[in-house]
Amino acid sequence: MSTTPTEGIEALLHEQRTFAPSPDFVAQANAGAELFEQAAADREGFWADQARKYVQWETDFGQVLDWSEAPFAKWFVGGRLNACVNAVDRHVEAGHGDRVAIHWVGEPEGDTRDITYAELHGMVQRAANALADLGVGEGDAVAIYLPMIPEAAVAMLACARLGAPHSVVFGGFSAEALHSRIEDAGAKVVITSDGGYRRGKPSGLKPAVDAALAVGETSVQHVLVVQRTGQDVEWTEGRDVWWHEALEAAAETHEAQAFDAEHPLFILYTSGTTGKPKGIFHATGGYLVQCAYTNHVVHDVHPETDVYWCTADIGWVTGHSYIVYGPMTLGATQVMYEGTPDTPHQGRFWEIVQDKKVTILYTAPTAIRTFMKWGREIPDRYDMSSLKLLGSVGEPINPEAWMWYREVIGGERCPIVDTWWQTETGAIMISPVPGVTETRPGSAQHPIPGIVAKVVDDMGQEVAKGSGGYLVLTEPWPSMLRGIWGDPARYKETYWSRFEGMYFAGDGAKLDEDGNIWVLGRVDDVMNVSGHRMSTAEIESALVSHPKVAEAAVVGAADETTGQAICAFVILRQEAVGEADEAGEGQDLVAELRNHVAKEIGPIAKPRQIMIVPELPKTRSGKIMRRLLKDVAENREVGDVTTLADSSVMSLISEGLKHGD
């Protein structure tokens, strides 16, 4: 593990601006200051209240938290519920069936669908029956590999309805990555589509599933295929089934059964510090409670009046918690958008805000920085007066981007919630509470009511105000991960062994003089590229699997738009060196290696830069000194090289790179 990042702390410490919420906002806000007092007075009692407020239990729970086998938690012990019934059925039963659940906006202009809760109810019942007809039952894992279409949410909810844990794999992952995730979870069925739209063109998804299943032995018995683009697909008789045909053939109604609060709801793979992605798994009860609670108090969703829009992809945790489980458990109306922000033009997001009268927008700093780059004239063309609150997630938001978001998008009127959390935490942990907190640009500020977070030093002692350290969570929380799928030892080791009795988040943070928390970024070998977590080790092993590569080291270098960018240093195998030396060959090889990474992991993992070098800087014990490579990647003077086994390596690298220019 490297040291706490301290670069930039000084500049951030001088950020003094604060913005109080307007009286109008405060008057309508879902949460007030008393929430903090209630949570502080009796934390478990507080969570019990939230659990009963936000979720409908088929059987009420007894004990709130069983921490006797820490770090393996049980929340709302003995409680029984169905997540899908909570997200859909009960809103229909309460007479809100006509409320729009999803204003879906397809990437091709004019391609839209509005789906009410009553319609969603019909879809999830048929989908649950169709899955049951394919043999899916309680405890059977289902992989979902879909574009941003309503069927993605329907598929997840149908699985939840059956007690079948879903494992959603982001559509930008390759067949290889999909294969390992399918097999690790032991998925019985894969739900995919023929394809999806990407920057104006249909692009195939099913071919990746076909390729993933052709790799070898598989647990998969059926592939359920949604028709989205109408493109041709290969068909494996007996295995492949059209979604629309299966739903049509399935019974119309489905009686949902309640499951234990601790029943696994889903698995979601995320990058860790080794080459093997971790299957983070979440239980039903606590997860649902914290998703709904945070969507209510942090995003300030008023289900009767708001139009909420979270721009994340369903393949990431943000899409799970804040497209599907949070807003739907509240019975909210939301926008779901299939495409990219610049298709077919750079004003697409703002056009959607204007057309759908979006009131709450939740997006990522990398998107905000991109919009900044495109210029304010673009959003200025649209009427965005419907907006009342803005949210940010996924990576640190720099004060400049925060201020731009506030002024240009929020018309200086909307509070901004900078929400810190992780796949592992399941829901928001650190964030302003918008009707209460005076916000400070660039800081996630404080744990929300019910959560305890601290910044500690190497010894696990809380740091003083004005200092930096590691971000830890000192008390269990309802939506915490229940483990790593199939690997309890790795769960303990990764999160609970660094500091006794504390959850180690892997992020560096600092406390400012006012006690605000500033999350600075990862302190482990995980990069954050456009808000996507990428493991250096995973990309290194993808590179090394190429026949021409002998060794590889990957670092995340600071990047103005994407936060970090992937930079790889590669040593070639002897036989490939000569080839690369010939005129022009080096460039071809770099392109070949970038494509190889895309094939192994996915296009999102393609390095921005690949540098072919003769050596890598290593310590005497053989550990690659990434810090020095980062200096090179960020065009800085190379730091202290005294611990290198061979101190001439860095000059060799710099020399080589100069020649390469």
Minimal distance in Å, beta carbon 396 to ligand WTA?
4
Which of 65-73, 242-250, 417-425, 614-622 is the region at the interface with ligand WTA (rule: CB under 6 A)?
417-425
How many Cα atoms sit within 13 Å of 326 on the Cβ side?
A: 29
In the complex, minimum distance from the CB of residue 227 to ligand WTA, in angstroms, rounded to a whole number: 30
Least distance CB 366 / ligand WTA (angstroms): 11
CB 620 within 8 A of CB 645: yes
- The minimum distance between CB 506 and ligand WTA, in angstroms, equals 6
User: Measured from the CB of residue 222, what is the shortest distance to ligand WTA in angstroms?
Assistant: 30
Quick one: residue 537, left, alpha or beta (phi over 0 = left, psi -120 to 50 = alpha)?
Answer: alpha
Interaction between residue 422 and ligand WTA (CB under 6 A): yes
Nearest residue (CB) to ligand WTA, 120 versus 502: 502
Residue nearest to ligand WTA (CB): 423
Which residue matches tokens 């195939």?
204
3-state DSSP assignment of residue 313: coil
522 is in an annotated binding site: yes
Write the Ramachandran bin of 569: left for phi over 0, alpha for psi from -120 to 50, otherwise beta: beta
Considering only the stretches 221-229, 311-319, 379-387, 629-637, report the one whose residues sit in contact with ligand WTA under the rule CB under 6 A. 311-319
How near is the Cβ of 102 to ligand WTA at its closest, in Å?
A: 21
Which of 286, 396, 447, 483 binds ligand WTA (CB under 6 A)? It is 396
DSSP string spanning 137-179? Answer: -TT--EEEE--SSHHHHHHHHHHHHHT--EEE--TTS-HHHHH
Catalogue the long-range contacts made by 586-590 (C-beta closer than 8 Å, 24 or more residues apart): 586/612, 586/660, 589/548
Letter string b/e over residues 35-73, b meaning 16 or more CB atoms within 10 A of that residue's CB = bbeebeeebbebbbbbbeebbbbeeebeebbbeeeebbb
Please, which residue, 105 or 393, has the CB nearer to ligand WTA?
A: 393
Q: Which of 155, 523 has the CB closer to ligand WTA?
A: 523
Distance CA 97, CA 240 (A): 33
- Tell me the window of 81-89, 312-320, 350-358, 538-546 that interacts with ligand WTA (CB under 6 A): 312-320
- Tell me if 201 is assigned to a ligand binding site: yes
Does 422 carry a binding-site annotation?
A: yes
For ligand WTA, the closer of residues 193 and 311 by Cβ is: 311
Chain mean position to CA 661: 37
Using CB under 6 A, pick the residue from 318, 363, 439, 479 that binds ligand WTA. Answer: 318
What whole-number distance in Å separates Cα of residue 81 and Cα of residue 63?
15
The CA distance from 82 to 552, in Å, is 47
Q: How far is the CB of 509 from ligand WTA (least distance, A)?
A: 9
362 DSSP assignment: E
Q: Residues 496-525: x/- map of binding to ligand WTA (CB under 6 A)?
A: ---------xxx-----------x-xx---
The reply to whether 620 sits in an annotated binding site is: no
Are the C-beta atoms of residues 326 and 479 closer than 8 Å to each other? Answer: no
Residue selected from 418, 512, 525, 559 as contacting ligand WTA according to rule CB under 6 A = 418
* Cβ distance to ligand WTA smaller for residue 156 or 317: 317
Pick from 599, 588, 583: nearest CA to 546: 599
In contact, 416 and 365? CB cutoff 8 Å = no
What are the Cα distances from residue 595, in Å, to 212, 538, 546? 18, 15, 11
The residues in 137-176 that bind ligand WTA, with binding defined as CB under 6 A, are none
- Rounded CA-CA distance 155/170 in Å is 14
Mask for 62-101, x = binds ligand WTA (CB under 6 A): ----------------------------------------
Q: How far is the CB of 419 from ligand WTA (least distance, A)?
A: 5
* φ and ψ of 611, to 5 deg: -110, 125
User: Is the CB of residue 236 less than 8 Å from the CB of residue 202?
Assistant: no
Between residues 116 and 398, which has the closer beta carbon with respect to ligand WTA? 398
C-alpha pair distances (Å), 258 with each of 61, 138, 241, 334, 526: 13, 11, 28, 26, 38
User: Rounded to whole angstroms, how far apart are CA atoms 366 and 560?
Assistant: 9
- Least separation in angstroms between CB 82 and ligand WTA: 25
Query: Nearer to ligand WTA by C-beta: 254 or 522?
Result: 522
Our finding on whether 649 is near ligand WTA (CB under 6 A) is: no
* Least distance in angstroms from the C-beta of 276 to ligand WTA: 16
Decide whether 57 or 287 has the Cβ nearer to ligand WTA.
287
Backbone angles phi, psi at 75, to 5 degrees: -110, 145
Q: Does 294 bind ligand WTA (CB under 6 A)?
A: no
| Near ligand WTA in 520-559, by CB under 6 A | 521-522, 528, 533
Q: Where are the alpha helices (DSSP H) in 298-364?
A: 317-319, 326-330, 348-356
The nearest distance, CB 430 to ligand WTA, in angstroms, is 7
Which structure tokens are listed for 20? Answer: 């109080």
Inter-residue contact 249 to 131 (CB < 8 Å): no
Q: Which of 145, 420, 485, 569 binds ligand WTA (CB under 6 A)?
A: 420
Tell which one of 162, 393, 552, 625 touches ligand WTA (CB under 6 A): 393
Q: Residue positions in the annotated binding site? A: 198-201, 318, 394-396, 418-423, 507, 522, 530, 533, 544, 546, 549
Interface ranges with ligand WTA (CB under 6 A): 270, 316-318, 393-396, 418-423, 444, 505-507, 519, 521-522, 528, 533
Q: Residue positions in the annotated binding site for CoA? A: 198-201, 318, 530
Q: Residue positions in the annotated binding site for Mg(2+)? A: 544, 546, 549
